[in-house]
Amino acid sequence: MAAEKSLKVTLYKSLNGRLKSHQDCAHGLGIRKMHNPVVVIDTPENRGMINKISYMVKVEEV
């Protein structure tokens, strides 16, 4: 089996005042605080949530 790819996602802008769907995407990725990196598996579902809130997060491949 191939090793699963991972992404490190870090929130750099506040969730306050954002659209509810954007806040839900951040919580769905497991992001709770700003500047606190979260490692998620690279799946199409996670990529979609990251793309939706791309203006608030920074992403690195792990």
pLDDT in tens, 11-30: 999 999 999 999 999 999 99
pLDDT band at 1 (very low <50, low <70, confident <90, very high): low
Q: How far is CA 23 from CA 1, 4, 14, 61, in A?
A: 34, 26, 10, 23
- Residue 39, in any domain of the structure: yes
Residues 6+ apart with CB under 8 A from 46: 7, 29, 40
- Residue 1, in any domain of the structure: no
- Residue 46, in any domain of the structure: yes
Domain that holds residue 29: 6-61
**What pTM did the predictor assign?**
0.89
- Residue 15, in any domain of the structure: yes
pLDDT at 2 over 70: no
CATH of the domain at 24: 3.30.1390.20
